Amino acid sequence: MELVLATRNSDKIREIEKALKNLPIKILTFKDFSNFPYVEESGKSLKENALLKAKAIAKFTGKLSLADDSGLEVEYLKGAPGVYSSRFAGENASYEDNNRKLLSLLKDVPYDKRGALFRCVIAFAKPEGKYFIVEGACPGKIVFSPRGRGGFGYDPIFQPEGYKKTFAQLSLEEKNRISHRAKALSKAREILEKLIRKGNKFLVGITGNMGCGKTTVSSFFEREGFKVIYADKIGHQILEEEKVKEKLLALFGEDVLGNNRKVSREKLRKIVGEDKEKLYKLNRLLHPLIKQKIWEILERCEDKVIFIEAALIFEASWDFFMDRIITVFCSREKQIERIRKKGLEPEQIRALLDSQLPQEEKIKKADFVIQNEKALKELEMDAKNVLKEILEEVKIGCKS
């Protein structure tokens, strides 16, 4: 696997290469391409800038790309310089120019009010436009004068929390254990490891909002002899785990339990259906656990083509790991009619539907779209046509 670093900054390249060492990947830089483009950082946030660079370089090279954007957020300056960190003192400012300007603005500010946070956002992008975002942060203080000769940028005036030295006084090994970029790169390394573990498996995501019939379509592929991983079923299994039960009790109290003292999916669905904040907390707990289980299944699976059914593929950024996405959709009226059979009240249904990405967005992001308003026979015919296209693409032939 090849990875292009979307930067011309040799200091960043050195840090990234060190963080990703020993991975079975070939790292490419601007030196490996002629006319490597300069991408203007015109975004209004670190995330926007990282994505701009990663997408542009992925499109230019036709390869997986990694870009980062980092910023220093100073409390006294209400988050400045932030996204303008690299050009705080002007478009062609040097590291020293930026440091001098920042120190001048904090000239009479006491130490206890010089809190700051280094933040790093890393974006992966594929040539077809899919992307994944990770970030890391490191809190600290701005010292009164530059100290140390190592590092770059604001390193000489940033003292990380719990240390008496600035970043510029720490060794690269010490800095790479605690820095914002090191933390973000650690997460980025995990993403690369998953892509490597995926190998040559062709993953097809099946998604759609509640009541749209994605499980019906998934069952068709399963009957055709293909491996289907159901995220919802994995979620049900996870709810049976004692450690998860304890965390749910801490979050939502005894109301999540049924008469048998086990987690009740119906009660849990009602609780989160009435409170978006509680739904967010539930997803934050369950999503990483579900993802981990899916990767464990994938590692054991020897199938070439594997279908993964999950309602929140786009919301959870799982689409980055999928080779193709199928979105199953139907009218909102039909959705509500089907969901009502689960015993939910209209307000709960609306809250759950509003918590998911609008159908139009899922349709726009999909490689294949299947409408589920028709008779079962017609739905299966549409699914069969999609399956045929997928199998022609991976050139393994139909199993049925």
- As annotated, the active-site residues are 69
What are the φ and ψ backbone dihedral angles of 96, each rounded to 5 degrees?
A: -65, -40
Report the candidate in 146, 79, 147 with the shortest Cα–Cα distance to residue 115. 79
Please report the DSSP string for 231-273 in residue order. HHHHHHHHHTSHHHHHHHHHHHGGGGB-TTSSBPHHHHHHHHH
What are the φ and ψ backbone dihedral angles of 213, each rounded to 5 degrees?
A: 100, 20
Please report the DSSP string for 61-85 in residue order. HTS-EEEEEEEEEEGGGTT-BGGGG
**Backbone torsion region of residue 78, taken as left when φ is above 0, otherwise alpha when ψ lies between -120 and 50, otherwise beta:** left
Report the candidate in 282, 313, 332, 354 with the shortest Cα–Cα distance to residue 208. 313
Tokens standing for residue 214: 């994605």
Report the candidate in 229, 260, 233, 231 with the shortest Cα–Cα distance to residue 245. 260
DSSP symbol at 145: S
C-alpha–C-alpha distance, residues 143 and 49, integer Å: 28
Output the CA torsion sign for 163, 167, 170, 172. Answer: positive
